[in-house]
Structure 1
Amino acid sequence: MEDHLKKHHVRCYAHKLNLIVRDALKNSCELVELIAKVKSVATDATNLGRQQGKLIQDVETRWNSTLHMLRRYEEEHTAVTGALRALSKTIKSLTDEEVERIRAAIEVLTPFELATKEASTEKHTSVSKLLPIVRQIQEKLSGESPSALRDQLQAELRRRFGSLEDNFTLGAATLLHP
């Protein structure tokens, strides 16, 4: 775009948000293990025929499916643990500490989910939304308790959206948006 048409090109920021979270989830070793454990419990509980409040499996290419899986497990933790114990299954449920880590991960990931939804609400998302949305995510993360996931997300945000405020086109679009 810039070389041939002499037009400034702004990449899809919903896609960038997806890459940020996907990479952060992959690089957070402790969370990778926790996600695998939730996925295993979800698979085993589903195989046991648990229908009400059915647990969700994540899809590797969609980071938000991982968030939905963690959310549903957190909601159903007590019921799943009770069902596994009642059936005397050798499936290990998650500890209270692990459920707390899930809650913390959900809290950190929620702003990215909201931003992704906002970026996807219109057929042609306005570039004027980019600066405020990224700024709000950065502020929300700064207020969160330190964690490996939070640190990974902040690093990925800096790497992919590092100098947004220096971009005249984005600043002008944000300022001029009605």
Structure 2
Amino acid sequence: MRIIGGARRGLQLADVGAGDQAAHLRPTSDRVRETIFNLLLNGGYGNPVQGARVLDLFAGTGALGLEALSRGASRAAFVDDGAISRAILRKNIEKMQAMGVTDVWRRDATKLGPNRGPGFNLIFLDPPYGKSLGEAALASAVEGGWLAPEALVVWEEGNAPLPPGGFELLDQRRYGESWITLLRLESRA
């Protein structure tokens, strides 16, 4: 695994090794990550990465949030409740020299609780496939005030999820075993 683009392009991230089967650690491949960022940057959404506050739910190795930092995001918060995942994530943050612009929270992404800071405008959601955890995490994030108005959500899942109420479906594509769904939080007028 490596950073695909931006200021830290080519940086090798920590080796996942055997990973954490119990926690379903399944890093997003370099190819799919590159596709996600091409979609974000070339999909007619402006540049949603530059200056973004990123929330990486089910962060695992943190590759998505770290890629966003390399491409100009201002801050990234990583949420994962797996000990092995967080250890790998911390190594990757050190390799990126991103300690001052990151937060790592040991938390169940489906039970975030209230957000005590500003909302996040770019959310990566990569739950274990086939367990309906993405829907629960999005509901928790909305309920807790974690999303900024019109936040973009990039959701990686094994099947094409239906957008929950309050979200607009912007794009949905299949890449191998993964479906990438791009949503926008609808503004509440």
TM-score by length of 2: 0.26
Q: Which has the higher strand share?
A: 2
Higher Cα radius of gyration: 1
The structure with more helix, counted as a fraction of residues:
1
Q: Which has the higher contact order (CA 8 A, sep 6+)?
A: 1
TM-score (norm 1): 0.28
